[in-house]
Amino acid sequence: MLIATWNVNSIRTRLSQIIDWMNQVKPDILCLQETKVIDDSFPFEPFEKLGYSVEVYGQKSYNGVAIISRTKAENVKKGFYDFDQNIEIFQDQKRLIAADIDGIKIINVYVPNGSSLESDKFEYKIKWLNCLASFLEEQEKKGELICLMGDFNIAPSNLDIHDPKKYQGRIMASEIERNALNNVLKERLIDSFRIFEKNTGHWSWWDYRNNAYELNKGWRIDHIYISKELSSNLKSCVIDCSPRGNLRPSDHAPVMIDLNLSNINVDFLEDEDNFFEI
């Protein structure tokens, strides 16, 4: 099973590029971030013509996430749910969608950028990540196999930045953010990419400014994390940089894993009485 994540930076602007890429790669699941469109205006038809079902959680001009899958998603939930947290501050920003697909809990996130360490947006980012950690703890209690993916707006280590000294202690590279991310992952989730590649020089995002892509000055901030129990099922994890070279591209590249699900057999809880959506 091919599972991909891609911050497309506007679904309507990049639609033809996304469809072309899907025709070439044929992912089984594609999670999108920054769709930037309300649900009723999402372009469902081109994906449905390719044989995919689509689940969306969007807003006008900002944020927005979607799960596009060959197998119809079940138990679709939008926003944080099913745990005891004060989540009212997160209601306006559409940043998380989750669903069950082929025995895996697919969780697609667009983590806030944070702007700068001194801003209110940074405080929001850390609160959001802490809420995500609590959310994942509740999923773990159910014994679910998790595939958490998306744009995390965090480089996990200095290996994930083209010039770590330049950006040390700054946004997306601070210890505060990295500690918050580690708190999300704890010992339960592992970085798919680092199972196969231990070295630096691999990026998923390049700033539009200063010829960053042409000079290969990038960051690895788009990730796919899987439950440890799935590590033996993982066949590969790659960053497909080619769409970043398109005309008017997203500033992010797709990241994709190949997961063997032939020997996975999980019984999910069917009781949804305690769930709520935002």
The residue annotated as part of the active site, out of 151, 160, 222, 251, is: 151
The residue annotated as part of the active site, out of 110, 213, 222, 225, is: 110
For this structure, is 151 an active site residue?
yes
For residue 224, what are the contacts with CB-CB under 8 A and spacing of at least 6? 3, 5, 147, 148, 149, 191, 192, 193, 237, 255, 256, 257
CB 182 within 8 A of CB 174: no
Separation CA 111–CA 33 (nearest Å): 9
CB 58 within 8 A of CB 39: yes
For this structure, is 251 an active site residue?
no
Task: List b or e across 51-88, with b for residues whose CB sees 16 or more CB atoms inside 10 angstroms.
Answer: ebbbbbbbbeeebbbbbbbbeebeebbbbbbbeeeebe
Looking at the annotation, which residues are catalytic?
110, 151
